[in-house]
Homo-oligomer: A and B are copies of this chain.
Amino acid sequence: MATKWLTPPEMAAWRSFIDTSGDLLRAIEKDLEPFGLDRGDYQLLAMLSEAPDNELRMCDLADSLRLTRSGLTRRMEGVLKKKLVSRVQSKEDGRVAYAQLTPKGMELLKEAAPEHLESVRKYMIDVLSPTEIKAIATAFTKIASNLG
């Protein structure tokens, strides 16, 4: 079976994506430092803030953060110690624990979110044309549904 190589535009897409996506995420993460958050913490808080009662089961939260359960257990240690999130044991099911955003966590998130959005704009959105923005949205959505 002959290997089908990538055409120049295909290669350009792939290369620019791998070369740049890490840099982009690192740049955005750096802007979260003043708040004492890294990207993982921010995403965790953001996820909880969008959930009913600001709480999610550990395993659902792990899935949405693309962490293993054990990875989430470890990350929780940090935000628990900072009192940004609290643990709530479920009454109905003795196995499940909820992670719940505390008022302090919500407050910090509300402080950090505008900065964070500003970073997303600065490093990504504002650099792109509306057409490119739409293309990225549809492209990654297609990739995701092809993966899942």
A residues sitting closer than 8 Å to B (CB atoms) are 3-6, 9-10, 12-14, 16-25, 27, 43, 66, 113-114, 117-118, 120-121, 123-125, 127-128, 130-144, 146-147
Q: Which of A20, A43, A123, A140 has its CB near the most chain B CB atoms (within 10 A)?
A: A140
Q: Smallest CB-CB separation from A142: which chain B residue?
A: B127
In the complex, are the beta carbons of B3 and A118 less than 8 A apart?
yes
- The listed residue (B21, B43, B130, B142) touching A9 by CB distance below 8 A is B130
Across the A-B interface, give the 5 residue pairs with the lowest CB-CB distance, nearest first: A135-B135, A16-B140, A12-B137, A3-B114, A13-B137
In the complex, are the beta carbons of B10 and A147 less than 8 A apart?
no
Q: Smallest CB-CB separation from A39: which chain B residue?
A: B18
Q: A127-B143, A143-B124 are in contact. Are A137 and B16 (CB under 8 A)?
A: yes
In the complex, are the beta carbons of B146 and A123 less than 8 A apart?
yes
Instruction: Note all chain B residues with C-beta closer than 8 A to A120.
Output: 6, 14
